[in-house]
Amino acid sequence: QVHVMESGGGLVQAGGSLRLSCAASGSIFNIIAMGWYRQAPGKQRELVANTFTTTAYRDYADFVKGRFTITRDNAKNTVYLQMNSLEPEDTGVYYCKITGTTPNSAGAMERFDQWGQGSQVTVSS
């Protein structure tokens, strides 16, 4: 099985910064994508930023507006989200999502999507 562990959430005042970390472990053959999503109270989960192993392209949601930066450490199977100039509207639960392949019992590779447990980010005014 694949495990995804998040850390770095917390409470911050408007204009402050937080850095989220997400580490994937377990029976991973390779990682295809690592990204961050968030879900505000009463709203649907939405993409924040995403990275891909095969390209340097970084996918950012429009609402980030240059405030957030997604990075990754491939050797550690870890993805980070640096969040600067946080606003109260950024409040929500942030989830890491890992897409990759894992070997099954027959030795074949199966694609998986695994979510982290979620990290609460609260931005106060």
Please answer whether residues 104 and 110 qualify as being in contact, where contact means their C-beta atoms are separated by less than 8 angstroms. yes
Residue 122 phi/psi, 5-degree rounding, is: -120, 125
Give me Rg for the CA atoms of the chain.
15
Please answer whether residues 11 and 124 qualify as being in contact, where contact means their C-beta atoms are separated by less than 8 angstroms. yes
Summarised one tens digit per residue, pLDDT across range 11-35 is 999 999 999 999 999 999 999 999 9
Cα 1 to Cα 28: distance, rounded to the nearest angstrom: 8
Query: What is the DSSP-derived secondary structure letter of residue 77?
Result: T
Summarised one tens digit per residue, pLDDT across range 68-91 is 999 999 899 999 999 999 999 999
Pairing of strands 30-39, 92-103: antiparallel
What count of Cα atoms within 13 Å lies in the side-chain half-sphere of residue 65?
5
Q: Pick the residue with more confidence: 74 or 101?
A: 101
Task: Tell me what pLDDT residue 69 has.
Answer: 97
